[in-house]
Amino acid sequence: MKRFSFFCCLFILLLTGVARAASEGNTDEEASWKANFRRIGLELSSTNVSHADKYQDSTISQLSADGQAVVKGVFDFALEYTRADTSGAFGITAEYGKTRLEPYNEPSETNETADKILIYSSFAHKAFDFYSASFGPMANVEYQTEFTRNGDSPRTRVYRGKTGLTIFDGAVVKGLYLAAVGEYDVTYSDHVSKLAAEAGWAIEYKPEDNLTFSTDGYYRRYLSYSQYVPEDLRYDLSVNARMDASLNGSMSLGPFLSYRRAHSRSADVAGSNFTIGVAFTYKNVFNLN
């Protein structure tokens, strides 16, 4: 609860600072501000098996299966602004997921399946139009952490900066970039400075007013480290894809999939995680001026 309270306080301070900056803006060239609830989602499933001990030899697998519950929440909010040829956002993305497994005749187990908090600011300047989108330089500043640590490992704490070129604010291409990345990782007692190259995307297609297909993700390849830490990654790939069918103006329902693949410096092979499911999602945008 202390960590969650700190997260909420930091979020409120961020909103306060941005609101103050907006109120002090140049009235001759006033910025357009929006509160964008990009995604508030709940992904869940539950399997409850009764009297599994009586059906261990049954040919019906549903009667002898292990009970399990899978819950994941996603919160993605940003204050966005546009001003002349500049676009930017101040936001927070948070996700947390757990799986509770109840095997027959064995103790129940609980595993974290997702845990991430990302606080960021992003800026992009339009140098010229690129079809229906804009093209120009970009810069991001991020702080990544998590709600709880994973087992005996320390809690993730990474400061990250990016700069590069991007295509943004298009009808379909919401973001497509190539950037140089600098990280200062204070997760472990041996702090590490890292350099990496990263490519990322955010694409959205609406064939109908009530139907949206979207995908986003990144590929980050680390190029150098200030020192050797076995848990550091050589590369990191994250891919998400969703279909959202609108239930009303803000709520939607649809399938999703996510894929994460990463290779640490000490491991012989890469690790991966593939998830597919159905999610309830809330999205809305409010004009602030």
- pLDDT tops 70 at residue 9: no
Is a pLDDT exceeding 50 seen at residue 144? yes
Centre a 10 Å sphere on the Cβ of residue 166 and count the other Cβ atoms it contains.
26
Q: Is the pLDDT of residue 23 over 60?
A: no
The per-residue pLDDT for 25 is: 47
Residue ranges per structural domain of the chain: 2-50+61-287
| Residue 44, amino acid | L
Residue 138: what pLDDT? 95
pTM value surpassing 0.75? yes
The full DSSP string for 87-142 is EEEEEEEEEEEEEEEE-TTS--EEEEEEEEEEEEEEEEE-SEEETTEEEEEEEEEE
Q: What is the pLDDT of residues 157-173, one digit of tens each?
A: 999 999 999 999 999 99
pLDDT band, residue 289 (cuts 50/70/90): confident
How would residue 13 be classed by pLDDT, with cut points 50, 70 and 90? low
The predicted-structure confidence for 93-107, as pLDDT tens digits, reads as follows: 999 998 888 787 778
The string over 135-155, giving b where at least 16 C-beta atoms fall within 10 Å of a residue's C-beta and e elsewhere, is bbebbbebebbbbeeeeeeee
Q: What gap in Å lies between CA 35 and CA 76, rounded to an integer?
A: 11
List the CATH code of the domain at 2-50+61-287: 2.40.230
Task: Please list the residues that pair with 80 across neighbouring strands.
Answer: 34, 89
The helix (H) or strand (E) run that includes residue 164 is: strand 158-168
